[in-house]
């Protein structure tokens, strides 16, 4: 999506899981609008390749969002290299496909650890940096599955519902520092995550239920994500934007 605006000049952003998919699309557009983007992906090869392809000030720091030491190291690196943090987009997650009957407690913990604990750890360290400047934009990527109760995703839906509610509560805590905290709920999207599991088999079924027909590409979510990451959204916090072509009509 082209735009001639430069909304992110002098802004420093971390985007987790931006080595590919929706995070990568957000990183490309934010960089195109002048932002300094730090890709924080556990897949270092992919993160480095994407950062190199974007070019300019874009860089990659290997990060496991579920590991407190890794999250602390990421924030130390950003502090040392750029001296501040304005924006965090909590996009990284694991997208499983498992029947309820097959899910063990270990499976549950594996998903909750990354998809919910990881968002807590990132928000904690990022807001500590943002509070110093009395400015911040936190955009958490949840999912429209929290509204739908989509099958084969019980642990993921629980984690994403946690992110959805946590976003509202954290907005209450951080408003006094002019830090906004908002939430995007994408619908099913044409990304590797869905081709690596049987989730892609639902593409046609879901398209039939959408108010606007078509199959979502990663970049379709970017205008909403970047609005919430920009200064323009200063009066919006604790809010949710559902980017699913009216599948849920939330």
Ligand X SMILES: NC(=O)c1ccc[n+]([C@@H]2O[C@H](COP(=O)([O-])OP(=O)(O)OC[C@H]3O[C@@H](n4cnc5c(N)ncnc54)[C@H](O)[C@@H]3O)[C@@H](O)[C@H]2O)c1
Burial-class residue 214 by CB neighbours within 10 Å (0-12, 13-18, 19+). exposed
Can residue 247 be called a binding residue for ligand X (CB under 6 A)?
no
Stretch that binds ligand X, among 11-19, 75-83, 170-178, 203-211 (CB under 6 A): 11-19
CA 163 to chain centre: 11
**Nearest distance from C-beta of residue 167 to ligand X, angstroms:** 13
Q: Site mask, ligand X, residues 185-224, x = CB under 6 A?
A: -x-xx-xxxx-----------------------x------
**Nearest distance from C-beta of residue 170 to ligand X, angstroms:** 17
Would you call 156 a catalytic residue per the annotation?
A: yes
Q: Which is nearer to ligand X, 96 or 135 (by Cβ)?
A: 96
Burial-class residue 238 by CB neighbours within 10 Å (0-12, 13-18, 19+). middle
Write the DSSP symbol of residue 156. Answer: H
Query: Which residue in 156, 164, 177, 220 is the catalytic one?
Result: 156
CA distance 55 to 208: 39
CA distance 143 to 78: 28
**Nearest distance from C-beta of residue 39 to ligand X, angstroms:** 9
Q: Nearest residue by C-beta to ligand X?
A: 21
The alpha-helical segments, DSSP class H, found in the chain are 21-32, 44-54, 68-82, 105-112, 118-131, 145-148, 154-174, 192-195, 203-209, 222-229
Q: Which is nearer to ligand X, 48 or 178 (by Cβ)?
A: 48
Q: Could you list the active site residues?
A: 156
Binding positions for ligand X, rule: CB under 6 A: 16-17, 19-23, 41-43, 46, 63-66, 91-95, 114, 118, 141, 143, 186, 188-189, 191-194, 218
């Amino acid at each position: 999506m082209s735009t001639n605006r430069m909304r992110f000049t002098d802004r420093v952003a971390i985007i987790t899981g931006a080595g590919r998919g929706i995070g990568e699309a957000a990183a490309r557009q934010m960089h195109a609008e002048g932002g300094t983007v730090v890709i924080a992906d556990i897949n270092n090869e992919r993160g480095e390749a994407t950062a190199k392809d974007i070019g300019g000030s874009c860089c990659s720091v290997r990060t496991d969002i579920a590991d407190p030491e890794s999250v602390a190291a990421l924030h130390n690196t950003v502090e040392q290299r750029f001296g501040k943090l304005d924006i965090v987009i909590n996009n990284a997650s694991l997208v499983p496909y498992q029947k309820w009957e097959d899910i063990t407690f270990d499976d549950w913990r594996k998903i909750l650890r990354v998809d919910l604990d990881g968002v807590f750890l990132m928000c904690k360290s990022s807001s500590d940096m943002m509070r110093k400047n009395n400015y911040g934009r936190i955009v958490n990527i949840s999912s429209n599955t929290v509204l739908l109760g989509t099958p084969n995703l019980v642990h993921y839906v629980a984690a994403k519902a946690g992110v959805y509610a946590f976003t509202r509560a954290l907005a209450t805590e951080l408003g006094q520092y002019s830090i906004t905290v908002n939430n995007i709920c994408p619908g099913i999207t044409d990304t590797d995550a869905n081709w690596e599991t049987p989730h892609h088999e639902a593409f046609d079924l879901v398209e039939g239920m959408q108010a606007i027909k078509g199959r979502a590409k990663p970049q379709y979510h970017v205008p909403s994500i970047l609005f919430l990451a920009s200064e323009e959204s200063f009066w919006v916090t604790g809010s949710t934007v559902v980017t699913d072509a009216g599948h849920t009509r939330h």
